[in-house]
Structure 1
Amino acid sequence: MTDVIELNEIEALNEFQSDWTRLLSITPGGTFFRSQEWLQVYWKHFAADQKLRVLIVRENGEVTGIVPLCWKKIKSKFGPCRILTFPFDDWGSFYGPVSADQESTWRSALEYLQHSNRDWDLIDLRCVETDGFDGGATERAFQAENMEFEKFLWEQAIYVDLSQTWEEYLSARPRKARQTYTRAERNLQAQGEIEHLRYRPRGEAFGESDPRWDLYEMCEQIAAKSWQGSSTTGTTITHATVNQFFRDSYESAIRAGAFDLNLIFLSGQPAAFSYNFAQNGLINGLRMGYNPEVSDQGLGRLLVGRILHDSMDRGDLLLDVGTGALDAKKYWYTSVENSYRYVYYSPASAIANVLRLSHQVASWFRDRFSSNDTDKIQKVPGQKLQVTQH
């Protein structure tokens, strides 16, 4: 027998902490972003004007899946719209349920949502990696529940395959990539002694949960000296609006054994840093920077190279270096993966029906008149959506 429990208070998640931890360890693409710990920190800082709707799926009393969702209002060109979406806000590249069987979990969750309080106009799922960890589970679940949807290209994430040796990886890089990296190593070694410090404690369960604030504050100091110190985007670790969020996320990930902090020292001076989450062999590269006052001779390239080399030696599986800035990352990545947005429009909602028509018209014009789209998504009623690569 399958049943679904809905949780609307963040404190209620604590009852399911052991189940959440267990399921995360067997979830395809189960990064720290899908953890209960990250959701609690996120909710502490960004819960304003949102309502929590976490769905716990059980089979014969055993928790088999968790779907973290939230309700919020967004602005559309046709007026306010109420959506059910992931409590995520694009902090990472991909998101989804916490479950070994994501399709079954989605089916149970979608059936529940269709018959529960419909205070939403859209189910709006963003950052779904259809061709990777999701494996098409989201699409199949919508189809199985006879819920007609639209699919849109959302972002492109950049990956480095770590399941190889450093020598194999480096030899497969373009010649210019190898040259720029070896030049950075050579130039910086000529300036002083290089030390790469990597701090990745295993967490409270192993008695390793010292946050080492001295190391974190070095990262902040480097960031303040870099371009991030004057950034107004509100996304850097030193920016006043998110500084405490980054610090709380750091401390929470340390306790969970899911943080990966990297520092490069040049002649004893903190010179470059990388702020990452690491779980189940998957690394999410979040923020990095270097201090140009220490050196401007390739600190960033050296830092990335040292991280990759060490990760391959450790047996890590994949580094997700995030979305955007594809040209700046071209020497490092081994693949670029698409993420998608899935939208289900409530038939009873006027704004949803207007938006559906608007999206369909826009998609028709884009597919008909644009020849430069990297992905053209074609909707076939009642069938799986076809994605044609160009």
Structure 2
Amino acid sequence: MSHTDSSDVALPTGSTNLKRRASPSFEGMSDGMGRKRMREGAEQDNSAVQIRDHVDAIDGSKLADELEQELQCGCCSALVHRPVIVSPCQHFFCGSCCALWIQNGGTNCPACRSVSTSVTPSRILQSMVDVLVRSAPNKARSMNERIQADEIYHPQMMLRIPSPRQASPEPNVPQTNNGFVQPCPHCLLGNNFGWRCPQPIVDPETEPERAWHADEGTPPGHGYCGNCENILALHAPSTSKCDFCQVSFCGVGIPNRCVAAPLLSQHLQGLSDLGDLIQCSEIYDCFDHNTVEVDIMLDYLTAQRLTPRHIYREIVTHIQNQPRQFAPLIELELFMDLYTVGGGVDPDPSAPRHRICRLCATEILLWGLRDWWIRERKKGILDDTEWNRPDCPEGSACSRQKDHGRSYSMTHARLLSSSCHF
């Protein structure tokens, strides 16, 4: 059979269509799917056009305003300058605002008041500020603001926000009975101290007719503790008197506080570590509010790990080596009216001083801190940049040193040594 004939061979009727028919459930699917795909494609095209239109419609000025709002300092409410982040709360502030917060006695985070573990510069926030200022120069802080802020803080400075100090326990003050003075701890017969007042105060609960009324003054042989203000026996073994303010302390009310300790053993009031010194506003008074010199000193104390108590001891030792010792401080009435209770009369202003209270010890530290820093600088421990600063020829009479309203006063303080103050 030829090839031409083979094409004419009749196939069986059942073999004319070998492809299996689709299920009736799929009939009409191809047209629907095509229309659906076309519809989805059109929607995608419309979405892309809308996105492009939205991008084209973004208002650059509005975006800059919104970004400026997000980058506002939590203290000054202006665009943050040299931002620092407080951990762990992650609030951020201008470095200068945070430094001033600490100098003025601020504790914890300025925004949420939570405990701060560290304060670090933020390069990410600084980059965002730089991008904003490049695109919108009108958002930048003024030149004078930036100069003044840089005089207060620079990124190499160490910042630490101190936590609030734990409050002293409340003294157990005996309740008075109708204005009568209660017996002191040593007045009671068989007390636990092994010593009884030779002139005990009568208990108004048991003998009201013989009780001592507060309007009659202080009972004989007694006084009031400068710290807890409880009644005390002046001659009790536990009682001590400060040789500077002449105030007595009971020694039994609050441990380590109701006592006048030996000069070199006493603690300072509220200045236990460097963090307390950083937030103590009085140290800026010692330096005529020259924050530059104070920052240099604080950096030095941090590097040398010197505590306020160490400085106090060196100041006391230096004063004791002077011919008149503490007499000049007594003449200045430096230790007057430190307590609400009255002190005794100083029998001899030139007499040796052996015991001191916490408040008087703190007064000595603040009085001698400036001169201590001068002596410390002369040791040559500071780096050459600080050590080689020339002295201001005007000395303590320098007017620019105290001109806080002008930015060049701080520049002047940076270039000249601390003798500008003294």
**Range into which the TM-score falls when normalised by the shorter chain:** under 0.3
Q: Name which one, 1 or 2, has greater alpha-carbon Rg.
A: 2
The structure that is helix-richer by fraction is 2
Greater RCO structure (CA 8 Å; 6+ sep): 1
Normalised by the length of structure 2, the TM-score is: 0.20
TM-score by length of 1: 0.21
Structure 1 or 2: more strand by fraction: 1
